[in-house]
Amino acid sequence: MPGLQLSGLASGFDWKTFVDSIISYERAPATSMQTEISNNQLKLTSLTGIENRINDLRSAVKALNTDGLFDARSVTSTASTWSASATTSAPLGTHSFNVTRLATSARWTGGADIGSPLAPSADVSALTLANLGTATAPTAGVFTVNGARVTVDLADSLQDVFNNISTATGGTVTAAYDFGLDKISLTSTSGNVVLGSATDTSNFLTAARLFNNGTPNLSSSSALGAASSTATLAGARLATGITAVDGTGAGTFELNGVSISYNVNTDSLSSVLTRINSSAAGVTASYDSASDRVSLVNNATGDIGVAMSEAPGGLLAALRLTTAAGASLARGLDAEFTVNNGSTFTSHSNTLTEEAHGIAGLSLTPATTGSSNLTIASDSARMRTRIDSFISTFNSLQDYIDTQTKVTSTNGKVTTSTLTNNREVQNWTSQLRSAVFNSVPGLEAAISRFDHLGIDFSGTSSTLAVKDSAKLDAALRDRPADVSNFFRQASTGMAARLESLFTSYTGPFGGAGLIGGQRTSITNSNTSLTTQIADLDRRLVQRRAQLEAGFIAMERAQSTLQQMQSQLTNAFPTSSK
């Protein structure tokens, strides 16, 4: 009789609602335990918040306990373009510097015209513009000579260009190549030579270094043949051949004691210069296509030379970097300066260190010549920043503990906080207050307490404040060693005292401590409560099944009685005798 499972079908009694009420009543302890679990989770969150703030304060205390903090020096200069720094060994005081000369770098300048002439003779009929060999490659187009338009193409030979000039000018201007000077000359029989116009499209005149001089005769301003910086050294059009190489074309040279290798068949002038610049030779090498020469500049300043060597017939000779090939050294200059109007000192570098001027721990880099007063003082700004950070994190911890443990009353209504009943945590505010309020034993009375630094508590609260900023700044400026002792004295200093508390609260960084113990206890409690709730729910499932089975049996009995009554009624109608 499945239908009898419907509540009250035979009896008219809503027993399912009654069972739900019974189960709900008997499950009331589980609801209470769930509320306790939720409250415990809030406690865990609060404890984590306290732990995080303790670690923040711990880091701030560690920053105050850093070696060299209270010995640090700052340097100020009356010259805005000078930079200076000082180590902890620098003596406090002011020094006058007068820099009369800045250091410069030595330059080794190679001989000019390392490239071959355009042609080996005056015959340039086989030399095309496309392979002319000038520093600036000529372009096709039109240029102007004495008002006449001359058209050139890259396939034209240099002699073709000369012929075109003569034809365009009616033979009044002739051109020729001087092999000995490696120059092009122009001669006019009808007045001065006038070159160029605003509508020229070819750069031939610039590539040939031909410029107006106001006379009937002019020639290239300098030799035209130039080395190619991108072709391999074997094909770079160098005037001097490179012979000090092995069968594969490999060779080496030394620059400031550093070996530089090259291969004439694979390396270009540009790649060799890059190799020099990236080496430990300490120079910067460059190629000037206008003068067709290579230069080396010392990376370091001062009157120091450039040393180089190679086998005869090597690359340095081909680049005219040897004195025999016309190279020359422009010596670098040492910096010259005086200190406190004393004798003149010199320095290879523009960074004037203790070795140069004799003042311990001071390093100075003047950007210009001139005078400046340098004042070496305690780096009180850095100390003040660390102390301000400590005060801020200390107050953050105290405020948070107060928020999590306070009890408030409004219009007779008392409101508690997450950790109101946690007496252990409540005591931490007073413990921290005592740790920073009590004097440090063994120190002079002048700086043995926070109030000697102008720092005190804000009224009756447990938070700190700088009450006398001038007093604090004066102590940091004038007595940094005493301030250091206050914070850093072994075992009894402020840092050691607070670290002892931190260790008890949280253990070493990443440890347990009192917070870890409370967290474990709360977590175990939640585990136990969760188990109890699960056990109760299992029992209530069985309890519901028992109750429902009893009421279903009642419904069946009720239904049977109702059927029997119906049968009796049908068997003995009311009209029968």
Query: What HEC string does 544-560 produce?
Result: HHHHHHHHHHHHHHHHH
Instruction: Taking residues 488-502, report their average pLDDT.
Output: 93
59 in the same domain as 87: no
Instruction: Taking residues 325-351, report their average pLDDT.
Output: 96
Q: Token pair of 271, please? A: 């790649």
pLDDT of residue 3: 46
What DSSP assignment string belongs to 479-503?
Answer: -HHHHHHHHH-TTTSHHHHHHHHHH
* Axis-axis angle for helices 480-488, 494-506 (nearest 10): 30
Buried b (16+ CB within 10 A) or exposed e, 421-430: ebeebbebbe
pLDDT of residue 510: 56
pLDDT of residue 530: 94
386 in the same domain as 341: no
386 in the same domain as 445: yes
What DSSP assignment string belongs to 428-460?
Answer: HHHHHHHHHHSPPTTS-GGGSSGGGGTEEE-TT
Side-chain-facing half-sphere of 10: CA atoms under 13 Å? 18
Domain count along the chain: 3
pLDDT of residue 563: 84
Side-chain-facing half-sphere of 472: CA atoms under 13 Å? 18
Residue 571 lies in a domain: no
Pick 263 or 68 by higher pLDDT. 263
385 in the same domain as 344: no
Residue 303 lies in a domain: no
pLDDT of residue 7: 57
Q: Of 321, 353, 378, which residue sits at a domain end?
A: 378
Distances (CA, A) of 69 to 72, 85, 470: 5, 15, 20
Query: Which helix (DSSP H) or strand (DSSP E) does residue 46 occupy?
Result: helix 28-64
pLDDT of residue 257: 95
Distances (CA, A) of 309 to 256, 268, 301: 9, 20, 22
Q: What is the pLDDT of residues 527-577, one digit of tens each?
A: 999 999 999 999 999 999 998 888 888 888 887 887 888 888 888 876 554
Angle made by CA atoms 57, 59, 65, in degrees to the nearest 5? 110
Q: Is the pLDDT of residue 509 over 50?
A: yes
- Comparing CA positions, the residue from 150, 135, 128 lying closest to residue 206 is 135
Cα dihedral across residues 267, 271, 275, 281: positive or negative: positive
Contacts of residue 518, defined as CB under 8 A and 6 or more positions apart, other chains included, come to 43, 47, 422, 424, 425
Residue 230 lies in a domain: no
482 in the same domain as 412: yes
Tell me how far apart the terminal alpha carbons of the chain are, to the nearest angstrom: 37
Q: What is the pLDDT of residues 424-462, one digit of tens each?
A: 999 999 999 999 999 999 887 789 999 999 999 988 888
Q: What is the pLDDT of residues 194-222, one digit of tens each?
A: 999 999 999 999 999 999 999 999 999 99
Q: Of 166, 195, 219, which residue sits at a domain end?
A: 219
Cα dihedral across residues 167, 134, 132, 240: positive or negative: positive
151 in the same domain as 79: no
Three-class SS state of 152: strand
d(CA 288, CA 267): 18
Query: Which helix (DSSP H) or strand (DSSP E) does residue 167 occupy?
Result: helix 158-168
421 in the same domain as 535: yes
Cα 14 from chain centroid (whole Å): 75
d(CA 2, CA 162): 122
- Beta carbons of 122 and 394 less than 8 angstroms apart: no
pLDDT of residue 551: 85
Residue 577 lies in a domain: no
Q: Token pair of 93, please? A: 């005081």
- Comparing CA positions, the residue from 494, 497, 437 lying closest to residue 461 is 437
492 in the same domain as 387: yes
pLDDT of residue 1: 43
Task: Report the amino acid identity of residue 448.
Answer: S
- Beta carbons of 487 and 476 less than 8 angstroms apart: no
From the CA atom positions of the chain, what is the Rg in Å? 49
Number of Cβ within a 10 Å radius of residue 100: 12
pLDDT of residue 487: 94
550 in the same domain as 482: yes
Confidence of residue 133 (pLDDT cuts 50, 70, 90): very high
pLDDT of residue 562: 79
Q: What is the pLDDT of residues 46-61, one digit of tens each?
A: 999 999 999 999 999 9
- Comparing CA positions, the residue from 308, 389, 490 lying closest to residue 56 is 389
Residue 152 lies in a domain: yes
Q: What is the pLDDT of residues 65-82, one digit of tens each?
A: 999 899 999 999 999 999
Angle made by CA atoms 261, 262, 263, in degrees to the nearest 5? 140
87 in the same domain as 141: no
**Per DSSP, what are the bridge partners of residue 2?**
none
Question: What are the percentages of helix, strand and coil residues in the chain, rounded to 5?
Answer: 40, 20, 40
pLDDT of residue 511: 60
Between strands 370-378 and 217-219, the pairing is unpaired
Residue 194 lies in a domain: yes
pLDDT of residue 278: 97
Distances (CA, A) of 156 to 129, 135, 525, 547: 6, 18, 99, 116
- Comparing CA positions, the residue from 259, 321, 253, 314 lying closest to residue 285 is 321
Q: Is the pLDDT of residue 9 over 80?
A: no
pLDDT of residue 8: 52
Q: What is the pLDDT of residues 366-418, one digit of tens each?
A: 999 999 999 999 999 999 999 999 999 999 999 999 999 998 888 888 888 99
Q: Is the pLDDT of residue 6 over 60?
A: no
Residue 405 lies in a domain: yes
Residue 110 lies in a domain: no
Angle made by CA atoms 196, 202, 206, in degrees to the nearest 5? 60
Confidence of residue 4 (pLDDT cuts 50, 70, 90): very low
96 in the same domain as 8: no
Q: Is the pLDDT of residue 165 over 50?
A: yes
- Comparing CA positions, the residue from 224, 165, 154 lying closest to residue 194 is 165
Instruction: Taking residues 467-485, report their average pLDDT.
Output: 93
Domain holding 338, by residue range, is 73-103+334-378
- Residue 370 backbone zone (phi > 0: left; psi -120 to 50: alpha; other: beta): left
> What strands, in cross-sheet order, belong to the sheet with 73-77?
73-77, 370-378, 93-101, 335-339, 344-347
190 in the same domain as 178: yes
Q: Of 349, 378, 407, which residue sits at a domain end?
A: 378
Angle made by CA atoms 122, 126, 132, in degrees to the nearest 5? 80
Instruction: Taking residues 18-34, report their average pLDDT.
Output: 90
Average pLDDT of the chain to the nearest whole number: 92
What DSSP assignment string belongs to 119-185?
Answer: -SSS--TT-BGGG--BSS---SEEEEETTEEEEE-TTSBHHHHHHHHHHHTTTSEEEEEETTTTEEE
